[in-house]
Structure 1
Amino acid sequence: METIFGNLQGLKPSQIKQLQRLYHQRLPGDRLTTPEFAQRLAAVSTEIGQPVCAYINRRGQVIRVGVGTLRQTQIPPQELPRYGAERLSGIRCVATKFKPEPPSSAALTAMALQRLDALVLLVMTGEGFERRGGGATGYIREAYLAHLIPHPEANWTVSQPLSLDRVSQQDFLELTEGLESEFRREFVAQQVEVDHDRALLVGVMTDNLSAQQFQAGLEELARLVETVGGDVVQVLSQKRAHPHPQTVVGEGKVQEIALAAQTVGANLIVFDRDLSPAQVRNLEAQIGVRVVDRTEVILDIFAQRAQTGAGKLQVELAQLEYTMPRLTGRGRDMSRLGGGIGTRGPGETKLETERRAIQRRIARLQQEVNQLQAHRARLRQRRQHRDVPSVAVVGYTNAGKSTLLNALTNAEVYTADQLFATLDPTSRRLVVTDAETQEPVELVLTDTVGFIHDLPPSLVDAFRATLEEVTEADALLHLVDLSHPAWQSQIRSVMKILSEMPITPGPALLVFNKIDQVDGDTLALAQSEFPQALFISAGDRLGLGTLRQRLLQLVHYAVSMNAEMGELPASDSPAQQSRRSYDFP
């Protein structure tokens, strides 16, 4: 029996049968509608007192009948043909409306989201009326014809009120072929490399965020997407007191996102926050485009950048722990191995296996990470037995840590103006001549993975073997990119992460980098806020001599503090301990 969609409450069985009989109608392939079909649709609509929508394919077959508005009866994205931005869906809609007015924006948006060939809106009188000269009873006052257009400033066009005869005489094949030809030319003109995701970013500004923090977060998300190889084609945002529990943003914004994604040809939606598995499923069902969150983008960057066996091991563990609760309903997406952001990496071949097998894999990887921890602990003990003090270079991602390591030690660590260019810790020997005693002093300088605000918990857990290089170091060099607009927020983010580590890191030296790229006002502000800090340019090798001497003072201070004070009082909170570590003069 044919299914009737939409609002069926209160309908009589006889009325439902009238709706079901619409499925048996057949329209000419070259006509939008016929007067007979339109009048019959209007008669049924008048009988039940509600709008009715009939969806018709290009063979003239009625494939869907719904009671309600176009938005209430629209075809779900997953059930629509996926032809791409250069094609229409091959489905048109003939709908009824009681008020004598053009299609609403909601109806036009629904038309665009379904990429309908056309929308014929029949405006009715509300009841049958006698035509001039008597004769058959008619139900239609006028009609509107709407369809999509490939125009940068408009998504659709709507005709003036037309007579039913004029709409019925419209050459449907000529209309659709012409439109698809225009869409094809526009698509070719905008086409990008097929291996690039075209990403639409979505930000949600809640009450706990300032406008500056929100904007900085969106800009950082754009950098993350570009780092992983995607192209940001549009950014949308919404201000809410709290994220919507089901879709993060409101229903209207979801429709706006779906329409914008179709308009700009986006094949990926990226949210600026973590999404629950249910939220991802709900959004994908309504938008019809793959949806990922900030954590998934970061994981994808790590999957691309991991070079060593240890790095790949930790990335795979993080991916599996993140993906485990998101397996339900993602079978189709996860089968596209290497198919874009969030679908590649060491762990992707495990994603379609049974949950129990994935759990066994996670347990095995955790054992290997524990072994990695033990191995690195032995290396640190060996250095400690040689009485070689160690300094870990920490800081926000892309602060210039690897560039500084290369400049100080003549290492050849990979550097790039990219987020998370370094994943694996790299230790190099640094010999500094003490300016007072003229004696050479050997240090071990360790480059570490960059931090980022709201560092995903799965990464923190998986990379604990790497992060222990920070907690086990005698002292820290906290490098800050002073040229970044949000440098103050980045300092707070790094200190927050350090304060939450299970073992309190040693004393830290705050060093501002890239001073060659900042103006005098920014430099003066940083000097007034952090008078004990050092200012350098690792790229131009400015201030490195002073930095070497301050590093000597730092490790001497750290060693003496450990010898005289022992462990910090257990009553101190991690945050207090972290703040105290910045008291190094």
Structure 2
Amino acid sequence: MPIETIYGNLQGLKPSQLKQLKRLYHQRLPVDCIATPEFSQRLAAISTDIGESVCAYLNRRGQVIRVGVGTPRQTQIPPLELPRYGVGRLSGIRCLSTQVKAEGPNQESLTAMAIQRLDALVVLTLTGEGFERRGGGATGYVRETYLAYLTPQATGKAGEDGQAEELAIANWHVSGPMSLDLLAKQDFLNLVEGLEAEFERQFIAREVDGRSDCALLVGVMTAEIDPEQFEDGLAELARLVDTAGGKVLGTIAQKRSRLHPQTAIGAGKVQELALSAQTLGANLIVFDRDLSPAQVRNLETQIGVRVVDRTEVILDIFAQRAQSGAGKLQVELAQLEYTLPRLTGRGEAMSRLGGGIGTRGPGETKLETERRAISRRIAQLQKQVDRLQAHRSRMRLQRQKQAVPSIAIVGYTNAGKSTLLNTLTSAEIYTADQLFATLDPTTRRCFVPDAQTGDRLAIVLTDTVGFIHELPPSLMDAFRATLEEVSEADALLHVVDLSHPAWQSHIQSVRQILKELPVTPGPSLIVFNKIDCVSSEALAIAREEFPLAAFISARAGLGLETLRQRIGQLVDYAIARE
């Protein structure tokens, strides 16, 4: 027997009315019947007596499992409490709802049906005065009924670039008005089995890989964000999800004056997001900005799908790509520093060391134990990173004693830094058309013309991890040993992907990150890469804006001799500054 809890708005209800509502839990309907006339009339009578809509939720065994006062939207079952059957199945639950208006279910009720993937929604319209005020005393009965259920039809598709061409809108069928007797004659089991069979066929036809994350992207544009920058950010987020191994099903965007403190987006947009996740079969929601731990928890509770932010996607990519011991060490440190404040709990109030009211008790909670374990591990990793810094510092000192100038290759992720290093030094480090293909710094020796004598000058080039807009602070801190290669270099080659539509924004992002380094880097040379992939007009614009830059194609071997000469001049200038 289920716990006889009544959900929804109970304010002002009499004990006798609550007792009538609780008695609904004792009802059981035939398994092949959507609703019997007797149960429907009883639900209508209670609803008229209390002057509110009433919803009863039943499982396929005909048992009442939830009773609520309010509309289907107000009384819906939280997504995390629903059975997890997958997108090819319905939830196994149907809802009978009363309403005073003699019309079919409204958009809100149908949306609630879709979010919960209900077997069916039955709306019982009422006759009788006094419904709109509690305690009206009128005798309730059903005027007519409406039957609604989801239909497995095509629901839109996502474009090749990961952006939604047409976001899914739930498909449903709503019957015309019918009598209680006609409703009772509907073959409920046959209806549900037919719908699920068609849902399953549609799901298989989509060929969605169940092993990968199927993601919906969410963008929030606030007043300080430029619309073009906002679109570029969403496109970049789609590439990040793709790089992490996910599949982008669509994108939802909202314009707000400021972020909602509890959910980042508005309540209506949360419902739209939950509906789209159910309709498209998404198992992951990815936001284009950082979320607080509370926002993540609230969204997951209301949507029933895992929610992550942009930083977590980047951390996941780093975890996949780290190959060396140093790289894995720095990634683990970044992940733990990101995770620690997101452990559910009461923060400082939980500490056994805090003292005061509410802090004394039998001992540490499991959460407190986990928090302390993570803190200890972070301290250990910090010491290892410090040792890594010391080792890299010794290596740099050794190169400096040998009077070998050092050049660090920096730039936005996927700008072609590793390809350039391979081309100039005949190295064979991994390259790919992916974000963050390189995490571990690689140093190689090469020769360039000396700016003074024209002789061969030996230098060392260091490939570094790619930058990205709003690089997460945890990564900045964890990769400080790697970023010191940038700070301590004699000069920088700032590689820019000229074929990217947002290359100007990328330059600004890299420059901003370089400004935030503890030690100001040396002089830099902007190197526009991939010129073989751009039009002559785009090339002319870049030349006009950056007349001192070098223009190359590392993959096609264009402009490399000129670049070597410019590097020699850059080294000469850097040494002269010292």
Structure 1 length as normaliser, TM-score? 0.90
Question: Is the CA contact 1:478–1:509 (under 8 Å) kept in the aligned structure 2?
Answer: yes
Question: Is the CA contact 1:397–1:452 (under 8 Å) kept in the aligned structure 2?
Answer: yes
Q: Distance in 2 between matches of 1:167 and 1:325?
A: 53
Aligned partner of 2:117: which letter?
Answer: R
Residue matched to 1:123: 125
Residue matched to 2:327: 311
| 2:564 is equivalent to residue 548 of structure 1 | yes
Q: Distance in 2 between matches of 1:103 and 1:384?
A: 77
Question: 1:364-389, CA deviations, whole angstroms, 9 ceiling, x for partnerless residues?
Answer: 00000000000000000000011111
Aligned pairs for 1:63-462 within 5 A: 63-127=65-129, 139-153=141-155, 154-328=170-344, 354-434=370-450, 437-462=453-478
Q: Distance in 1 between matches of 2:181 and 2:542?
A: 74
Question: Is the CA contact 2:49–2:140 (under 8 Å) kept in the aligned structure 1?
Answer: no
Question: Is the CA contact 1:478–1:510 (under 8 Å) kept in the aligned structure 2?
Answer: yes
Aligned partner of 2:508: which letter?
Answer: R
Q: Distance in 1 between matches of 2:576 and 2:271?
A: 62
Aligned pairs for 1:33-72 within 5 A: 33-72=35-74
Unmatched runs of 5 consecutive residues or more in structure 1: 130-136, 330-349, 563-585
Question: 1:228-269, CA deviations, whole angstroms, 9 ceiling, x for partnerless residues?
Answer: 111101111101111111001000101111111111111100
Question: Is the CA contact 1:511–1:534 (under 8 Å) kept in the aligned structure 2?
Answer: yes
Deviation at 1:69, TM superposition (A): 0.6
Aligned partner of 1:360: which letter?
Answer: R
Deviation at 1:351, TM superposition (A): 11
Residue matched to 2:534: 518
| SS in structure 2 at match of 1:151 | coil
Residue matched to 1:537: 553
Q: Distance in 2 between matches of 1:551 and 1:463?
A: 26
| SS in structure 2 at match of 1:150 | coil
Residue matched to 2:355: none
Question: Is the CA contact 1:420–1:449 (under 8 Å) kept in the aligned structure 2?
Answer: yes
Residue matched to 2:13: 11
Q: Distance in 1 between matches of 2:452 and 2:140?
A: 104
Residue matched to 1:493: 509
Distance change (3 Å), C-alpha of 1:352 and 1:236: farther
| SS in structure 2 at match of 1:28 | coil
Q: Distance in 1 between matches of 2:367 and 2:322?
A: 19
Q: Distance in 2 between matches of 1:361 and 1:376?
A: 22
| SS in structure 2 at match of 1:296 | helix
Q: Distance in 2 between matches of 1:46 and 1:471?
A: 75
Question: Is the CA contact 2:451–2:569 (under 8 Å) kept in the aligned structure 1?
Answer: no
Deviation at 1:157, TM superposition (A): 1.0
Q: Distance in 2 between matches of 1:453 and 1:432?
A: 32
Q: Distance in 1 between matches of 2:150 and 2:129?
A: 31
Question: Is the CA contact 1:323–1:351 (under 8 Å) kept in the aligned structure 2?
Answer: no
Q: Distance in 2 between matches of 1:293 and 1:353?
A: 26
Q: Distance in 1 between matches of 2:454 and 2:95?
A: 86
Question: Is the CA contact 1:482–1:518 (under 8 Å) kept in the aligned structure 2?
Answer: yes
Residue matched to 1:572: none
CA RMSD across the alignment: 1.7
| SS in structure 2 at match of 1:124 | strand
Question: 1:337-394, CA deviations, whole angstroms, 9 ceiling, x for partnerless residues?
Answer: xxxxxxxxxxxxx999721111100000000000000000000000001111101000
Question: Is the CA contact 1:409–1:428 (under 8 Å) kept in the aligned structure 2?
Answer: yes
Aligned partner of 2:7: which letter?
Answer: F
| SS in structure 1 at match of 2:522 | coil
Q: Distance in 2 between matches of 1:373 and 1:104?
A: 63
Q: Distance in 1 between matches of 2:231 and 2:154?
A: 26
Question: 1:104-142, CA deviations, whole angstroms, 9 ceiling, x for partnerless residues?
Answer: 11101111111110000001013499xxxxxxx761111
| Residue-pair matches, total | 536
Deviation at 1:434, TM superposition (A): 3.1
Distance change (3 Å), C-alpha of 1:435 and 1:474: closer
Question: 1:417-467, CA deviations, whole angstroms, 9 ceiling, x for partnerless residues?
Answer: 000001011010011233762322110110000000000000000000000
Q: Distance in 2 between matches of 1:233 and 1:561?
A: 53
Q: Distance in 2 between matches of 1:45 and 1:266?
A: 36
Question: 1:152-202, CA deviations, whole angstroms, 9 ceiling, x for partnerless residues?
Answer: 245211111111211111111111111111111111111322321111101
Question: Is the CA contact 1:29–1:173 (under 8 Å) kept in the aligned structure 2?
Answer: yes
Question: Is the CA contact 1:474–1:555 (under 8 Å) kept in the aligned structure 2?
Answer: yes
Aligned partner of 2:423: which letter?
Answer: A
Question: 1:278-300, CA deviations, whole angstroms, 9 ceiling, x for partnerless residues?
Answer: 00100000000000000000000
Question: 1:546-574, CA deviations, whole angstroms, 9 ceiling, x for partnerless residues?
Answer: 11111111011011111xxxxxxxxxxxx
Q: Distance in 1 between matches of 2:24 and 2:430?
A: 67
